[in-house]
Structure 1
Amino acid sequence: MNFDTFFSEELVFFLDVSSQEELFKEMFGRMHSLGYVKESYLEALSEREKVYPTGIQTEHLGVAIPHTDSIHVNKESIGVAVLNTPVSFSHMGMPDETVDAEIIFMLAIQKPDRQLGVLQIITGLMQNKEMLMKIRNAEDEKAIISTIKDYSSELNV
């Protein structure tokens, strides 16, 4: 699996949103208009997040990894959003706790057998303070994609 192929500058977002719903609509809108996800993706994403929350509090900042089933995906991709103001997500594994997420990795994975591998790589990236902060402080789309490619080349994935 070539991890880099999931990312593109057209799916990098710098957003000023005030809710998870607004965040999902913004990211879905572009992903859908570019043909990455089906119309059903947005509702499926919101419903899955209610049952299986994806917020994760790292040592340095909050991250979320919203995703849904492969039947809602046309073309594999991962949208990356850096938020001006954090958005609240329920904590993965502890739904009574919340995470103020500043970075979002929105997965659109077509092959279910790849999802676990992708999640493991993103989890590793989230634990790398230097890489995570480079994404958080990036000035543009190119810098985020470059950081992700640097990370994946270190792992050779």
Structure 2
Amino acid sequence: MLTFEEKVEIIESFPELTRNDVSMKRVNYHYKESLFDKTVVIQHLHPNGNGFVYVAGLHGYEPDERGLVNIREATEEEFRSIIAAAIKNLSEDPDGEVQPIEEKWVGPNGEELLLVEEEEFWNLYHGLNLEESFGAYGQAKAYLREEQFKQVQSGRDS
């Protein structure tokens, strides 16, 4: 589990986020350029490592009724990915065309695969070739990790 300090360092690598200290030593981070009334990306990050990220409407996440997911046990890779996705989600025009989520993964021998959300499926490409297709993000991610791939670029920033 990442420490509070490590999480703060990761969050602060996103210069578009603004820190706001709240009660009980907790910290919120806002995305002031949000196209929506909602500006909080990270909510109630606590020195014990607990906290939440706003992911309402994003595929691949299972938010609570408030649109938040807990990041207490997130790895550095997962934490960076979810922050990038949350910021991108708040900066998209709701009337515009939504870009598919694309993630680059690199294998132990340097091979690169691209995981792309397309028409409710998660397709895995090697170059232009479709290697595998999954019905859920979690299945694709589990497969890639089982094959010892690591995510190097994520969110909707392809």
TM-score range relative to shorter protein: under 0.3
Higher helix content, 1 or 2: 1
Higher strand content, 1 or 2: 2
